[in-house]
């Protein structure tokens, strides 16, 4: 979680330097505090004033004229930071860091600190492929630096290949991961998310308002905390989170099959998907024409996926969701018991700040022992972390998750 985290962002002189502006905006929006160090070359690509305005703080460019509140910038910034990020990182910065050369404020600061550090390389594809650069990257990884893979695509020099700065959401995700405890390492987490669509004909379907945001946040949070994550997603318009495996499905039956193929290996199953309870009994191959009339739609029940897992006495932890409009806790408790879940996350469509499309949620967690925990309104990613925290306490009671 980036809220209140202190990030020192190093910017080096590559054409992707302008993207550091967007990264800074993203970090500030997520509630982080950002301090910026720019190399001399970086200031040729983007101005310190831009970075100062966006970061809402001083920008450091010179080893020998420290700005504002810090006396010895390279020491003070090292003390200030929870993490360091260099984006973009040129071949030159990577080479200097790998060789122990500290000849400007950025390299000096990076070498005089021991915080988690993320390096985001961006350079020409041939430069990136250069064996010396590759050796330097290997060396940095060996010494504990997190070095991102560059993205592939069109480069500033009009060629196409590896060497692009990864997209900003991907860098943000890597920073979240860098700052998260790895307390889910070794866990195999299966998350379902989003709605399902139950077709009536090639252009029409039955669905619900689920956006997938809560499920995607849970998948991302578990991945940040070191779990191996499989996400089974209904149709969503969200950017896919960084997880180990994503399976896109459309219907409840497809989701059922995808879950059944994989649930046995999972040590934690989180069913955040809003599965359609019914599907049209027959699906027309052709578009149903208005002038033919439609007397009604006959429906067939879909399998209850979480209940099917509950019935199989799965040894891992099973977490379900309940989204209600009335009698929230009574319905949630009934579902917890009837579907044999270990824990249910109840949220009400009537609550301000909760709901399908919102970025926040207001949930009550109820576990099998009857223990109840109401969380305040918070972002879905914060909610996801709190749900995982609660899973950890359940795990302690239940014994090691995944014992078979
Ligand atoms: N669920 C499921 N398969 C279904 C329906 C629901 O796995 N066919 C799961 C959901 O992913 C969620 C939990 O069951 O974790 C509760 O979903 P909900 O739709 O609230 O439950 P229903 O039993 O369908 O109850 P309702 O009468 O409120 O629709």
Q: Whose CA is nearest to atom 28 of ligand 1?
A: 324
Q: How confident is the model at residue 8 (pLDDT cuts 50, 70, 90)?
A: very high
pLDDT in tens, 87-128: 999 999 999 999 999 999 999 999 999 999 999 999 999 999
| pTM summary value | 0.90
Inform me whether the pLDDT recorded for 67 exceeds 60: no
**Cβ proximity of 12 and 84 under 8 Å:** no
Task: Report whether residue 275 contacts ligand 1, using a CB cutoff of 6 Å.
Answer: yes
Helix (H) or strand (E) holding 205: strand 204-206
Q: In the prediction, which pLDDT does 1 show?
A: 82
- The whole-number average pLDDT for the span 313-324 is 91
pLDDT in tens, 44-57: 999 999 999 999 99
* Coil, helix or strand at residue 342: coil
Task: Report whether residue 107 contacts ligand 1, using a CB cutoff of 6 Å.
Answer: no
Task: Report whether residue 212 contacts ligand 1, using a CB cutoff of 6 Å.
Answer: no
Structural domains of the chain sorted by starting position, each given as residue range(s) with its CATH number in brackets: 6-179 (3.40.50.1950), 188-280+298-398 (3.40.50.10300)
Q: Encode burial over 364-374: b for 16+ CB neighbours within 10 A, e otherwise.
A: bbbbbeeeebe
Q: At what angle do helices 213-224 and 168-179 cross, to 10 degrees?
A: 50
Mean pLDDT of the chain: 93
**Which residues, listed in sequence order, are joined to residue 4 by a DSSP beta bridge?**
none
Q: How confident is the model at residue 73 (pLDDT cuts 50, 70, 90)?
A: low
Inform me whether the pLDDT recorded for 403 exceeds 50: no
The Å distance, Cα 277 to ligand 1 centre, comes to 7
Ligand 1 atom nearest the C-alpha of 321 is 15
Q: How confident is the model at residue 71 (pLDDT cuts 50, 70, 90)?
A: low
Q: In the prediction, which pLDDT does 404 show?
A: 36
Q: In the prediction, which pLDDT does 68 show?
A: 52
| Placement of tokens 């054409």 in the chain | 15
Q: Whose CA is nearest to atom 17 of ligand 1?
A: 322
Q: In the prediction, which pLDDT does 402 show?
A: 43
Q: How confident is the model at residue 66 (pLDDT cuts 50, 70, 90)?
A: low
Q: Whose CA is nearest to atom 18 of ligand 1?
A: 322
Q: How confident is the model at residue 328 (pLDDT cuts 50, 70, 90)?
A: very high
| Placement of tokens 């077709």 in the chain | 199
pLDDT in tens, 141-185: 999 999 999 999 887 877 788 899 999 999 999 999 999 999 999
Q: In the prediction, which pLDDT does 177 show?
A: 96
């Amino acid at each position: 979680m980036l809220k209140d985290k202190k990030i020192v962002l190093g910017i080096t002189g590559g054409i992707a330097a302008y993207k550091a502006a967007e990264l800074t905006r993203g970090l500030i929006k997520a509630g982080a505090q950002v301090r910026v160090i720019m190399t001399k070359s970086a200031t040729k690509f983007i101005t310190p004033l831009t970075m100062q305005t966006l970061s809402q703080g001083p920008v450091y460019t010179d080893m020998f004229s420290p700005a504002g509140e810090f006396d010895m910038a390279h020491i003070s910034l090292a003390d200030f930071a929870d993490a360091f990020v260099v984006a973009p990182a040129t071949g030159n910065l990577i080479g200097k860091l790998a060789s122990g050369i500290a000849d400007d404020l950025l390299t000096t600061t990076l070498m005089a600190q021991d915080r988690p550090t993320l390096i985001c390389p961006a350079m020409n594809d041939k430069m990136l492929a250069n064996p010396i650069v590759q050796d330097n990257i290997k060396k940095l990884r060996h010494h504990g630096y997190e070095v991102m893979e560059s993205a592939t695509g069109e480069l500033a020099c009009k060629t196409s290949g590896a060497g692009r700065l990864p997209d900003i959401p991907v860098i943000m995700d890597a920073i979240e991961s860098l700052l998260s405890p790895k307390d889910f390492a070794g866990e195999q987490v299966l998350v379902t998310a989003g709605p399902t669509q139950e077709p009536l004909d090639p252009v029409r379907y039955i669905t619900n308002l689920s956006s997938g945001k809560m499920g995607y946040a849970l998948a991302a949070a578990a991945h940040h905390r070191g779990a191996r994550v499989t996400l089974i997603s209904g149709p969503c318009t969200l950017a896919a989170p960084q997880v180990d495996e994503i399976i896109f499905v459309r219907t409840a039956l497809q989701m059922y099959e995808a879950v059944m193929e994989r649930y046995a290996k999972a040590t934690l199953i989180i069913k955040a998907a809003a599965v359609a309870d019914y599907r049209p009994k027959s699906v027309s191959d052709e578009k149903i024409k208005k002038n033919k009339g439609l007397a009604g739609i006959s429906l067939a029940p879909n399998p209850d996926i979480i209940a099917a897992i509950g019935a199989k006495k799965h040894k891992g932890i099973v977490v379900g969701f309940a989204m209600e409009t009335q009698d929230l806790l009574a319905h949630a408790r009934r579902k917890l018991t009837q579907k044999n879940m270990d824990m249910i996350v109840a949220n009400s469509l009537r609550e301000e700040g909760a709901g399908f499309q919102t970025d926040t949620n207001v949930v009550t967690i109820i576990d099998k022992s009857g223990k109840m925990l109401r969380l305040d309104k918070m972002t879905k990613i914060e909610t996801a972390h709190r749900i995982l925290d609660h899973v950890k306490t359940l795990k302690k009671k239940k014994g090691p998750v995944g014992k078979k």
